[in-house]
Chain A
């Protein structure tokens, strides 16, 4: 009876309950400490799974995108960016979240890297653009970043962070009104981008990328070529930033090979579209 009263009370009292010391309450009511521990854990789990809607994700991602651009600057090369958007949106439409408004841009840095902010704001560095040799390889880079968005890697990390140990109302309000909590969430997401995601997230994005390339009909082995090129650059010490934020290309290739066997992909199409890549990217390079 006392336990059911306690549980009923908690349902109405969830937000405040997150910061409450259940041990003391249990002692006062004479309830088994083990039961109290389980309730405490349950509340913590519930608080970690506050849903973040697509629109809230986009608002957060937009703010993070502003910080990414603020750090590196953006290349306002219309032809190249438009081309990037065509490839990216074609992939996005065939991804697991086809209704997101994916947007792509080029960051003005020679570091080889790419970043995906929640909600579909995706960046490729000028260095990465100069590294790839054809459209399929560029699509592989974009598909990997799209996969981080479709798999909600940053959002998942945020949902399990201490920041989200607040009530659903407080979190929703932060997205609507901005304020300190929203800025802290943006700080968290930006940090995750710059410091790197979990290795497992990177491997998962590689596998998804392979799937998206296959859906659209690009020659998916292009993904391996990008990783080989990265490995070569890593050996030469030319991909230092990427090396900090991603697992080694060798381990990624190993994982990818394993995933490929489980994906039941079609036979490689051989579509690399080098001429189109040269026309839109190489010939539109700004001095």
Chain B
């Protein structure tokens, strides 16, 4: 019985996507409107100010369903463009191993993309703390930085208006 429960626990920990445990926050300059559905013209449920911690509940293409975390704001849950959300910190492999042996083990063999998809890496030796092949050419940390630059639709609209371009 204990073995069965243990196996189930292992499966659960290995299957948990990293975005479900990592910490995120709203990075766009003037916060972001939370929408009822993953569509640009969906009903606005509320507004999350910049730098508010959020938890990612679900991912759907370029839209992420988030819920506010902490006590500073009333809890809001809804869809936001993925570009508005930034990762608060990314645990190193060593940290993950110390937090949870199984999730650490899982992270050694998989690298998460922003879409929550897992990309298999070929081996453990030579991986840097971000899970990239050490000495390899890819720089996914810089790509994450690029993705974290939240430019909201409101920012773009204001920019267009200021330049007297076509709205």
Contacts and interface: CB of A to CB of B under 8 A. Distances in A.
Contacts of A100: 62
A74 B139 contact: yes
Q: Which range contains the number of B residues in contact with the other chain?
A: 35 or more
A86 B155 contact: yes
A103 B147 contact: yes
Contacts of B139: 66, 69-70, 73-74
B117 A217 contact: no
Interface in A211-256: 215-218
Nearest to A105: B146
Interface string A98-127: 011101110000000000000001000000
B127 to A, nearest CB: 14
Contacts of A276: 162-163
Given A69-B142, A81-B149, A121-B143, A93 B113 contact: no
B118 A177 contact: yes
B115 A65 contact: no
B118 A90 contact: no
B166 A217 contact: yes
B114 A62 contact: yes
In the complex, which of the residues B40, B115, B119, B136 has the most CB atoms of chain A within 10 Å of its own CB atom?
B119
Contacts of A85: 149, 151
Given A103-B83, A135-B163, A89 B143 contact: no
A66 B156 contact: no
A82 B151 contact: yes
Contacts of B117: 59, 175-176, 178
Nearest to A176: B117
A66 B143 contact: yes
Nearest to B136: A70
B149 A90 contact: no
Contact of A93 (B121, B143, B149, B156): B156
A89 B156 contact: yes
In the complex, which of the residues B29, B62, B81 has the most CB atoms of chain A within 10 Å of its own CB atom?
B62
B82 interface: yes
A70 B138 contact: yes
Given A66-B138, A178-B118, A216 B160 contact: yes
Given A67-B138, A89-B156, A121 B115 contact: no
B49 to A, nearest CB: 19
B162 to A, nearest CB: 8
A87 to B, nearest CB: 8
Interface of B: 29, 40, 61-62, 81-83, 111, 113-115, 117-121, 132, 136-140, 142-143, 145-147, 149, 151, 153, 155-156, 159-160, 162-166
Given A70-B138, A81-B146, A82-B151, 8 more contacts: A59-B119, A62-B113, A69-B139, A69-B143, A69-B146, A71-B137, A73-B142, A82-B29
Interface of A: 54-55, 58-59, 62-63, 65-67, 69-71, 73-74, 76, 78, 81-82, 85-87, 89-90, 93-94, 99-101, 103-105, 121, 135, 175-179, 182, 215-218, 271, 273, 276
